[in-house]
Amino acid sequence: MIYRFLFLLFALNGFLFGQEDPSDLSRVRSLFQNFEYRGVVTTADSIIQHSTTFDSTARLELLRMKGIAEYSLKEQDQAQYTFLEILRLDNNYVMDPFDTPPKILELFNIIKTSYNSRPVREKVVIKTDSVVYTPAEPSPALSSALIRSVIIPGWGHFSYKMGKKGSWLTIGTFLTLAPAIYFSWDSFNKEKKYLNETDNRRIESRYDDFNTSYQLRNLFLLSYACLWLYAQMDVLHLHSEQHKFSRNLEPIPTRENRLVLGIRLHF
């Protein structure tokens, strides 16, 4: 009888003190609504660390407020990690667009898309005790690509893995530059013949030959100049697109069963 009583007493104690305290969630929500973001982060961390009986709904709400607070405090790396924790609990979680700032909503959706696009077997993560920063893949130097493009329009595009466009530009270069060189030489010779002609009956025909060659030279030179200028501007555009500042959070599992956050920074 005594053992049964003690068993019931311990069970009742565990039930009463092991349940989640609604006041904890209310306290965090109050801090959140009053824009006391540092308090939100500190309190939420303490609750999550010491409470093991919070149901998933309450834990998701705590993490949501914590993530928004961290982003507002410009702790974006930690905010991304918190949003990833939300997705580990519910990979279909949807943030309320009417209650979430647009930039934070956009960031969360990017993380969600990246997380859900990974193979299912790679999403099973047991520990989340480390954050590893992976460097971005090296990109070609602008000077090298631009020098190549200046020499032969289209050559610089191969540095940015734009082989098809680079090939077309290179072909266009030879189709315009070669005739331009030929007609430059041809118009020079025909101009000399025209100026040296003394037979009045042949002066007009000499001029027509020179003028035709001269106009063709100008046409091909103009075409080459436009193509050359386009190639340089396109190389500069490709470089700026690959080097503009961007952040890409990507959950990557490791063999050590840890969660790795890969953050790419481009300048």
pLDDT tens figures, 176-200: 999 999 999 999 998 888 888 888 8
pLDDT tens figures, 150-167: 888 988 888 777 888 888
Tell me, yes or no, if the pTM score tops 0.75: no
Mean residue pLDDT across the chain: 76
Instruction: Say which CATH class 13-117 falls into.
Output: mainly alpha
pLDDT tens figures, 63-119: 999 999 999 998 888 999 999 999 988 989 999 888 888 899 999 999 988 888 876
Q: Quote the pLDDT of residue 243.
A: 53
Q: Quote the pLDDT of residue 183.
A: 92
Query: Model confidence at 228, in pLDDT bands (50, 70, 90)?
Result: very high
3-state secondary structure the chain: CHHHHHHHHHHHHHHHHHCCCHHHHHHHHHHHHCCCHHHHHHHHHHHHHHCCCCCHHHHHHHHHHHHHHHHHCCCHHHHHHHHHHHHHHCCCCCCCCCCCCHHHHHHHHHHHHHHHCCCHHHCCCCCCCCCCCCCCCCCCCHHHHHHHHHHCCCCHHHHHCCHHHHHHHHHHHHHHHHHHHHHHHHHHHHHHHHHHCCCHHHHHHHHHHHHHHHHHHHHHHHHHHHHHHHHHHHHHHHHHHHHCCCEEEEEEECCCCCEEEEEEECC
Q: Quote the pLDDT of residue 50.
A: 76
Domain boundaries, the chain: 13-117, 142-243
pLDDT tens figures, 15-69: 333 444 557 788 888 888 898 999 999 998 888 887 666 678 888 888 999 999 9
Q: Check whether 267 has a pLDDT greater than 80.
A: no
Q: Quote the pLDDT of residue 242.
A: 58
Q: Check whether 257 has a pLDDT greater than 50.
A: no
For residues 251-260, give the mean pLDDT: 46
What percent of the chain is modeled with pLDDT above 70? 70
pLDDT tens figures, 116-139: 887 654 444 444 444 444 444 444
